[in-house]
Amino acid sequence: MGYLGGFLVTLRQIGKRQRVTRNYVKDEGGKSEKPMRRHGRHVLNRYEDGMEKCIGCELCAGVCPARCIYVRGEDNPPDAPVSPGERYGFVYEINYLRCIHCDLCVEACPTEAITESKLFEFSFTNRRDAIYTRDELLVDDEGLPKRLPWEDWSDAAAIVPNTSAWMRATAPNGDASYEGRVAWSGELGFGVRPPEAGQSASPPRSETARETSDVIGDEPPGHPEPWRAAH
């Protein structure tokens, strides 16, 4: 009979306007701004020419502490290669019932194929939807993330420009003396991104740092590739 006490609590609240559940979008004045480095759901990126960056090496799966990535590599067909490497990831799955968004997979990837978008508002009504497949993770023909029915992209204009932003410091060891040296490979939809600035308060880079730099690339183009307004 103890459960009747619980019903009494409910009955006492009937007719009262005091609401406990709040809609954070409507009641809190809209969504908050997403930090540049928020870890959201992943994307699989492609080069500017459309080739897939993933080479099926399985390093991301090996480093994942939650064991939620499943990758199978396969040799590229010689007449229609999918990636510039010898192999490509022909099966790629992430189980979001297990992912803890630690980003170790992003750090481990040698080609920047896998990065995390800023999207974190997604929910599932069945377990199958929670396992994202290669087709769902791969960016579309414009280089932008696919929008799946159970994801909330209502603030896409704010979060898409930062999609695929690489989480790792753009300079080796996070050294600010390398700021201004492009370390990104060209990417469909976004081109070559400039490095993030202001990661550290270290003094400006010296010529010595320039000479010893192992960063690949030229000086930054000045401005990022404009994000296409149509999306």
Three-state DSSP at 118 gives coil
Output 88 or 178, the one with its CB closest to ligand SF4. 88
Which residues does 25 contact at the CB level (< 8 Å), separation at least 6? Answer: 31
Element (DSSP H or E) covering residue 96: none
Site string for ligand SF4, 89-108 (x = CB under 6 A): x----x----xxxxxxx--x
Residue 58 in contact with ligand SF4, rule: CB under 6 A: yes
Terminal-to-terminal C-alpha distance of the chain: 58
Residue type, 67: R
Output 106 or 159, the one with its CB closest to ligand SF4. 106
Three-state DSSP at 131 gives strand
Q: How far is the CB of 40 from ligand SF4 (least distance, A)?
A: 10
Q: How far is the CB of 191 from ligand SF4 (least distance, A)?
A: 20
Distance between CA atoms of 163 and 156, rounded to whole angstroms?
10
Query: Which of 34, 111, 131, 169: binder of ligand SF4 (CB under 6 A)?
Result: 111
Residue 60 in contact with ligand SF4, rule: CB under 6 A: yes
Three-state DSSP at 70 gives strand
Residues making contact with ligand SF4 (CB under 6 A): 54-60, 64-66, 68-69, 71, 89, 94, 99-105, 108-109, 111, 113-114
